[in-house]
Structure 1
Amino acid sequence: MIKKGAVILAGGQSRRMNYEDKAFLKIGNMTFVEKILNETCDYEERIIISNNPLNYKDMNVPVFSDILESQGPLAGIHVGLKNSKHERNLVVPCDMPNLNRDFLNFLGNIEEDYDALVPIIGSYEQPLCAIYKKSIIYKIEECIKNRIYKVKELYRDISVKYVQVPKKYESIFINVNTPSEYKRFLKGD
């Protein structure tokens, strides 16, 4: 068991998906959010962040709404950290259906001192599939107060450890944001 929490970001307006909730897109006989819940099963605590908690009442995990509405993923990270019982928390989006347990456990088992543990592929940071310390909540609140909403902007004020994603895991970092991306994903393109 990984002694960290897992925060699943399932909020957002899904504008590019024609307002269809990406968390409930199907992959086989599961929804994206069900798959992510399965892949994070080795984490001690799992919670979902959504603007519409009633949609998740059958998920059997705690669900919280953004406290700072309409401020994007940074607000989701904020509410996840605020409601988690753990000091370190994996944060993952619901729209990365290729995420797998093996990689998430690899990330969760890195035990060094950091405020954020961020995977990188080449030079591309993956801030929405990263581990964050609960104690940075006040830094996130400062960012939002100053109208800084990009997660990467937060990194200027905290200690970040970057971890290169092993080649075998690079393909899991695919987001599904539009109907055409979803069709390509289902076809395996």
Structure 2
Amino acid sequence: MPAPPPETPLPPEAIAREHITGLVLAGGEGRRMGGVDKGLQLHRGRPLALHALRRLQPQVGPALLSANRHLAAYEAMGVPVWPDVIDGHAGPLAGLLTGLTHARTAWLVTVPCDTPNFPQDLVPRLAAAALQQGADIAMAATREGAQPVFCLLRTGLIGSLRAFLQSGERKFGAWTARHACVQVLFDDAQAFFNANTTEELAQLQQQPPPAAVG
């Protein structure tokens, strides 16, 4: 996949937010954190998944959560919660398929539950790039590389993803490479810092708080 172009201002045309469903991915097994439900680990007094949800909601229309454990705790966050529609802990693509199954908009955007400080202009910039370049998928990138789980895609790709997973494939990049995909460069790599381990969660606690989002 070619390197993303330098960060540029948002063009005036963009996909309206009400046509984009937001999905927080919280269905992982948390293996690198000792098997805990990562989305429910507290950061500044709130579960990580709730931070991600609150940061995402102003950027999208409907919002959903993908989770496979402690569903009641996630439902208390106030949006629909759906477990994976396929068995076998198939990773983030399983959560993505779940989101595509339940979305009722033309576009779906995903964010992971363990990255609470992602950019507040993430979705509009992905949407503008997808529209401008006629892409099926737009994903975030930094100068350190792609951030594929921060991904905006057409919900019409559901059949392609279902077939990919049913064939036994699991790699996010291998699936997105089959479609017209554009990378969108974000200069602030620190905004994509994610807490995969207890040590990284402690590092996250030491970062200055981001701008308030409500």
CA contact (8 A) 2:55 2:116 kept: no
- In the alignment, which of 21, 25, 33 is matched to residue 9 of structure 1? 25
CA displacement, residues 71-122 of structure 1 (integer Å, 9 cap, x when unaligned)? 1101100010110111111100001122142334433444332211011212
Q: What SS is found at the alignment partner of 1:126? A: strand
CA contact (8 A) 1:90 1:108 kept: no
CA contact (8 A) 1:39 1:104 kept: no
Match of 2:151 in 1: 130
With the length of structure 2 as denominator, give the TM-score of the two structures.
0.81
Q: Which shifted more, 147-156 or 23-32?
A: 23-32
> Structure 1 unaligned runs (5+)?
none
Which segments of structure 1 move beyond 4 Å, counting only runs of 4 or more? Answer: none
Match of 1:39 in 2: 55
2:177 partner letter = R
Displacement, 1:176?
0.6
CA contact (8 A) 2:144 2:189 kept: no
- In the alignment, which of 38, 42, 53 is matched to residue 22 of structure 1? 38
* Pairing of 1:34-183 with structure 2 (within 5 A): 34-42=50-58, 43-52=60-69, 53-69=71-87, 70-110=89-129, 111-112=131-132, 113-122=134-143, 124-165=145-186, 167=187, 169-183=188-202
CA contact (8 A) 1:139 1:157 kept: no
CA contact (8 A) 2:66 2:99 kept: yes
Q: What SS is found at the alignment partner of 1:107? A: helix
Hey, what's the Cα distance between the residues in 1 that align with 2:136 and 2:125? 18
Displacement, 1:57?
2.2
With the length of structure 1 as denominator, give the TM-score of the two structures.
0.91
2:156 partner letter = S
Q: Which shifted more, 150-159 or 99-108?
A: 99-108
